[in-house]
């Protein structure tokens, strides 16, 4: 499989190059030349495959011959080495729980797959690859955990001091080894701007092989389609295929779901569930795309005003707004609606949603009320314990702390303090 740049001013590359470069030299996102169409027989028998076998078969065409089949099987098996249960909330709505990985959010799968691919590609290379990433919370922990101990790869994570939750901060500052956390006296936007500037800095590019680890990178983006296959593997409703509601920020996850759909996976409809950052719901309604500045909400991983993967969705449907709005509906949910959804679902079903899952639940419920004979799935993207204050006030009781979070407390935080100043970052990177 080759990948082309959506800006169309750069040469096609292999999966290996796309993973190492992250973004094309013309600043475009990479996109697969073709989306493989799966055999209908295979889809029909999806329940007869183990999740490892399924994941291997789905990822193989995207990776092509850049990784041996044996190594790829091992990479996918390690990547998905935890549960993805489909849990009923009520008679019409199920939750696909994507938070059973080591850092309790769905980003583990993409980060684990990408880290193992980069580790594989760095074997025999003389120079190290440096992964530079800015985080507002969940990405940092998933990337730190996924890349910990991967040889030939150094990871530098920038996070805004005092603006991530205690669990999130411990997840990115307690790893050690090849993981360094830079604690920036500034905002997430400052961190992101410093990282972007680094990728464009001629000195840095000359001295080190830099790559990104957000969903721009195909190795982080594409494995997210596996969730949708795991959902269908567990779908036993006979009357119809599911409507799937995806809590969306940068639109990497839902965009991966659309790849699965175009490959032939039977999904009735997609719901782009957003908080008040409603750039895409507005586009779906009006046909006009107008990026905005992000506003802060309680579902903070979706506080994005200019979603980077949206251009991939446009590409898939050749910019056809009619087609796009036939397959995706958008909803924008306020914080007050999110909180009342968490308490209402807890009171009626005893199911505990996190704020991101609650946004999806509210959107799906609205959609289903107009489509009476359909049933749906929300992707539950984070464990509620990542948002203890919101949750405990919404449901009126304390949450159980899972072991992976318990283990973090008592570990020592290590971070390098830095001003929100690109020259400081540059000097630091060059002097390592």
Ligand X SMILES: *Cc1c(COP(=O)(O)O)cnc(C)c1O
Catalytic residues: 107
Find all residues with CB under 8 Å of 230, minimum gap 6, and list them: 51, 54, 84, 86, 96
Stretch that binds ligand X, among 55-63, 71-79, 246-254, 402-410 (CB under 6 A): 246-254
Taking CB under 6 A as the rule, does residue 136 contact ligand X?
no
Name the 3-class secondary structure at 252. helix
Taking CB under 6 A as the rule, does residue 252 contact ligand X?
yes
Give the strand pairing for 3-5 and 153-160: unpaired
How many of the other CB atoms lie within 10 Å of CB of 188? 21
CA–CA distance, 368 with 166 (Å, rounded to integer): 37
Tokens of 6: 């959506």
Among positions 178, 277, 381, 390, the unique one binding ligand X when judged by CB under 6 A = 381
Is residue 264 within 8 Å of 37, Cβ to Cβ?
A: yes
Taking CB under 6 A as the rule, does residue 302 contact ligand X?
yes
Nearest to 355 by CA among 340, 369, 368: 340
**Closer to ligand X at the Cβ: 152 or 355?**
355
Is residue 380 within 8 Å of 98, Cβ to Cβ?
A: yes
Give the CA dihedral 354, 360, 363, 368, nearest 10 degrees: -110
Taking CB under 6 A as the rule, does residue 356 contact ligand X?
yes
Tokens of 163: 């603006």
Among positions 101, 140, 247, 281, the unique one binding ligand X when judged by CB under 6 A = 247
Is residue 96 within 8 Å of 235, Cβ to Cβ?
A: no
Residue 103 Cβ vs ligand X, minimum distance, rounded to whole Å: 10
Stretch that binds ligand X, among 15-23, 225-233, 243-251, 363-371 (CB under 6 A): 243-251
Tokens of 130: 């440096």
Is residue 401 within 8 Å of 385, Cβ to Cβ?
A: yes
Taking CB under 6 A as the rule, does residue 383 contact ligand X?
no
Site size for ligand X (CB under 6 A): 16
Stretch that binds ligand X, among 152-160, 249-257, 288-296, 341-349 (CB under 6 A): 249-257
Among positions 138, 190, 278, 303, the unique one binding ligand X when judged by CB under 6 A = 138
**Closer to ligand X at the Cβ: 6 or 105?**
105
Taking CB under 6 A as the rule, does residue 251 contact ligand X?
yes
**Closer to ligand X at the Cβ: 35 or 256?**
256
Residue 106 Cβ vs ligand X, minimum distance, rounded to whole Å: 6
Among positions 79, 122, 178, 215, the unique one binding ligand X when judged by CB under 6 A = 215
CA–CA distance, 188 with 137 (Å, rounded to integer): 9
Taking CB under 6 A as the rule, does residue 220 contact ligand X?
no
Binding interface with ligand X (CB under 6 A): 105, 107, 138, 215, 247-253, 301-302, 356, 381-382
């Amino acid at each position: 499989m080759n990948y082309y740049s959506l800006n169309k001013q750069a040469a096609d590359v292999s999966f290996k190059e796309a993973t190492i470069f992250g973004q094309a030299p013309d600043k475009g996102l990479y996109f697969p030349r073709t989306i493989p169409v799966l055999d209908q027989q295979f889809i029909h028998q999806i329940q007869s495959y183990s999740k490892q076998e399924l994941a291997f078969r789905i990822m193989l065409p995207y990776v092509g011959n850049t990784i041996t089949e044996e190594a790829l099987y091992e990479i996918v098996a390690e990547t998905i080495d935890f549960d993805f249960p489909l849990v009923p909330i009520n008679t019409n709505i199920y939750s696909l729980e994507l938070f059973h990985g080591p850092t309790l959010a769905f980003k583990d799968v993409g980060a684990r797959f990408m880290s193992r691919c980069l580790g594989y590609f760095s074997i025999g290379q003389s120079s190290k690859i440096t992964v530079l990433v800015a985080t507002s919370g969940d990405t940092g922990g998933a990337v730190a955990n996924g890349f910990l101990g991967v040889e030939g790869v150094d990871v530098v994570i920038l996070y805004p001091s005092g603006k991530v939750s205690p669990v999130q901060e411990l997840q990115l500052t307690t790893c050690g080894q090849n993981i360094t956390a830079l604690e920036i006296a500034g905002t997430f936007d400052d961190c992101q701007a410093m990282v972007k500037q680094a990728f464009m800095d001629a000195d840095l590019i000359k001295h080190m092989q830099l790559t990104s680890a957000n969903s721009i990178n195909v190795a982080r983006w594409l494995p997210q389609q596996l969730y949708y296959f795991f959902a269908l593997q567990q779908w036993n409703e006979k009357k119809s295929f599911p409507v799937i509601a995806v809590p969306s920020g940068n639109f990497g996850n839902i965009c991966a779901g659309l790849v699965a759909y175009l490959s032939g996976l039977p999904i009735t409809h997609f719901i782009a569930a957003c908080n008040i950052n409603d750039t895409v719901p507005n586009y779906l309604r009006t046909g006009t795309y107008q990026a905005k500045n992000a506003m802060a909400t309680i579902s903070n991983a979706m506080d994005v005003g200019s979603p980077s993967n949206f251009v991939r969705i446009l590409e898939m449907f050749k910019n056809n707004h009619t087609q796009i709005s036939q397959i995706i509906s958008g909803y924008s949910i306020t914080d007050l609606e999110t909180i009342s959804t968490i308490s209402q679902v807890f009171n009626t079903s005893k199911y505990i949603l996190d704020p991101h899952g609650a946004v999806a639940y509210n959107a799906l419920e609205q959609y289903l009320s107009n489509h009476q004979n359909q049933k749906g799935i929300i992707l539950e993207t984070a464990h509620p314990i990542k948002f203890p204050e919101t949750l405990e006030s919404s449901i009126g009781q304390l949450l159980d702390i899972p072991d992976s979070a318990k283990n973090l407390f008592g570990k020592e935080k290590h971070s390098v303090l830095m001003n929100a100043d690109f020259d400081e970052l540059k000097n630091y990177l060059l002097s390592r």
